[in-house]
Amino acid sequence: MSTLEIKDLHVSIVTEQGVKAILKGVSLTINTGETHAIMGPNGSGKSTLASTIAGHPRYTVDSGSITLDGEDVLAMSVDQRARAGLFLAMQYPVEIPGVTMTNFLRTAKTAIDGEAPKLRTWTKDVKAAMAQLRIEPEFAERNVNEGFSGGEKKRHEILQLELLNPKFAILDETDSGLDVDALKVVSEGVNRTIAAGGLGTMLITHYTRILRYIKPDFVHVFVDGNIAEQGGPELADRLEAEGYDRYLDEETATA
């Protein structure tokens, strides 16, 4: 079993207006096998948390810590974090001209495993994983994310999740922009990875819709750079009924 532990994390970014604090003391522990839903309004800092864990250079960690089984994640480069077992499914996956999906996936797999995958089984695995996510075979020869629709990009993020087999997956609004059918397909992909064992999941979302397909063990409400409340799946139901207004009102009341 593995543990991803975030302690009192303070993160800021440099903008044209100056330094802006975004995360204000986030603490969260995720163990293998657990699924944590993070829900919160636009701009509350959910993507910042995800990107900081993955090591995006734009974000400065001012204080606090992130550890993976006791190892200091913040000391690792972006690629080291990925090789240590962290996977970020991005809210806005980037297009990479000139690099085919096939080439990209093989290079990533080789990097993560430290050796090239056996060609025959690998090709079979990729084909099977694509078929399960209802990705047409011709995508294999297309450039990474180039000209993909929003939904196609998200499916490919989950394809990578399934093929790269991380210890922890951070899914940043993987559900947004998906129609119901695509949502099901993508959720099944995540559930397959969870069922295969050995995955801890941080599921960032705006909507409770995806939680009907991927059952969270814990729900955290994220407001203004911090966790305002946490609970079990029932908290998601309450958010569905009431929205975030309660937390936002509190915030303006105390401001």
Ligand X SMILES: Nc1ncnc2c1ncn2[C@@H]1O[C@H](COP(=O)(O)OP(=O)(O)OP(=O)(O)O)[C@@H](O)[C@H]1O
The binding site for another protein (CB under 8 A) comprises: 54-57, 77-79, 81-83, 87-88, 90, 93-100, 103-104, 107-108, 111-112, 143-144, 146-147, 160, 164
Q: Which of 4, 9, 22, 236 binds ligand X (CB under 6 A)?
A: 22
In angstroms, give the least distance from the CB of 41 to another protein: 25
Residue 12 touching Mg ion (CB under 5 A): no
Amino acid at 249: D
Q: Which helix (H) or strand (E) holds 61?
A: strand 59-68
Residue 252 touching ligand X (CB under 6 A): no
Instruction: Report the C-alpha gap between 192 and 195 in whole angstroms.
Output: 5
Q: Which of 4, 9, 12, 47 binds ligand X (CB under 6 A)?
A: 47
Partner interacting with residue 67 (select from another protein, ligand X, Mg ion, none; CB below 5-8 Å by kind) = none
Partner interacting with residue 9 (select from Mg ion, another protein, ligand X, none; CB below 5-8 Å by kind) = none
Instruction: Report the C-alpha gap between 87 and 42 in whole angstroms.
Output: 22
Q: Which of 6, 12, 28, 48 binds ligand X (CB under 6 A)?
A: 48
Cβ–Cβ under 8 Å, residues 42 and 218: no
**Using CB atoms, what's the residue nearest to Mg ion?**
47
In eight-state DSSP terms, residue 2 is -
Tokens 């604090």 sit on residue: 21
- Tell me how many degrees the CA angle 229-65-215 measures, rounded to the nearest 5: 40
Residue 43 touching ligand X (CB under 6 A): yes
Tell me the window of 3-11, 46-54, 136-144, 191-199 that interacts with ligand X (CB under 6 A). 46-54
Site for ligand X in 85-114 (CB under 6 A): 91
**Alpha-carbon torsion, ordered 138, 210, 8, 68, to 10 deg:** -50
Q: Which of 11, 12, 39, 46 binds ligand X (CB under 6 A)?
A: 46
Instruction: Report the C-alpha gap between 139 and 149 in whole angstroms.
Output: 12
Q: Which of 35, 47, 52, 201 binds Mg ion (CB under 5 A)?
A: 47
The Cα-based distances of 172 to 89, 125, 249 in angstroms read 6, 25, 25
> Phi/psi zone of residue 184: left (φ > 0), alpha (ψ -120 to 50 degrees), beta?
alpha
| Nearer Cβ to ligand X (129/186) | 186
In eight-state DSSP terms, residue 94 is P
| Nearer Cβ to another protein (26/53) | 53
Q: Which helix (H) or strand (E) holds 205?
A: strand 200-205
Task: Please give the residue ranges that form the binding site for Mg ion (CB under 5 A).
Answer: 46-47, 91
Task: Please give the residue ranges that form the binding site for ligand X (CB under 6 A).
Answer: 13, 15, 22, 40, 42-48, 58, 91, 206
